[in-house]
Amino acid sequence: MKHIATFQILDVFYITGRGIVFLGKVVEGDTFRPTDFIEFEFNNQIFIKRIKGIDNSMRVPANKPSFGILIETKDQNEVSDLLQGKANLTIGKIFTLG
């Protein structure tokens, strides 16, 4: 996998029927797309998750970044853990396979 960008996660929330969204901003690197991967640390564990969707037009307060990454999760327990722990204020590294 090739590192192509760094993403600062500022907030985490859940969209019913879609999944976990990381809200934040790209702090360095190139553009990326669904099917790329994000690697981040949460609760002293490294996660690598496939990006399912990207939304740069999310409706959020003006003082918040408007860039969301929808990630793939394995089950509802993982969703609950990420929401409870608020995996925010962390850095994710974006990787591509190609």
Domains of the chain (ranges, CATH numbers): 2-96 (2.40.30.10)
pTM for the full predicted model: 0.84
Rg (CA), the chain: 12
What's the pLDDT at 7? 92
What's the pLDDT at 66? 66
Lookup: tokens for 16: 């019913």
pLDDT in tens, 51-61: 999 887 655 55
